[in-house]
Amino acid sequence: MREDGFRDPPDPENDNCGVGDDPVTADGSTTTDGSIDVDVDAGSDDHVHADASVRGLIEDDGTYLLLKHDMPGGPIWGVPGGRARIGEDPRDALVREVYEETRLEVAIGDPLEAFAHTWADGEQGTVSVVFECAVVGGTVDIEANPNDDEPISEYVWLEPTALDDVPMEPELQRLLERYAN
């Protein structure tokens, strides 16, 4: 743990930072010869692209903040965050998004990892970079969230042992299992 309260960066000699030993292809299979076979259709523009987002794993006194989003496909729990504006620094975007959703002021630490998620409709997806965050001011107020298309109905501060009790994206669940300890 560093003096500023954030954890030390991973040691690349001993930690793959969420990356396996063998490259992973787009279909999820791995290769053992170090190559990746990618099918690129440069002439086609009919494929769906994922949005980029920033998210914050916010720790306070050994607990982690989760928000319940009432999505069209059903409620899902997650960590605060959202999309950056064009030209906006990712860390500035995360400070803004956390404040918009929770009214908390946070210090942004190092990026923990990135993951991709496809929504239940199969038509939308995001690639999220999750940063370590620490509360530096404010009190949670989810009523002030300006985003009507993703209303937040609840929040909870959970200890790492209780994180399995809430439904969330499997990719986020795996990330929390690695870092929320």
pLDDT (tens digit per residue) in 7-50: 555 554 554 444 444 444 444 544 455 554 545 554 455 666 77
CA distance 116 to 51: 10
Q: Which domains does the chain have, with CATH numbers?
A: 52-179 (3.90.79.10)
Instruction: Give CA torsion, residues 67, 71, 73, 79, to 10 deg.
Output: -30
Residue 18 is predicted with a pLDDT of 45
Q: Do residues 27 and 15 make contact, with C-beta atoms less than 8 angstroms apart?
A: no
User: β-strands 63-71, 51-60: how paired?
Assistant: antiparallel
Compute the average pLDDT of residues 61-84: 87
Q: Does the pTM exceed 0.75?
A: no
Q: In sequence order, what DSSP letters do the residues of 61-88 get, joined into one string?
A: TTEEEEEEEEETTEEEEE-SEEPPPTT-
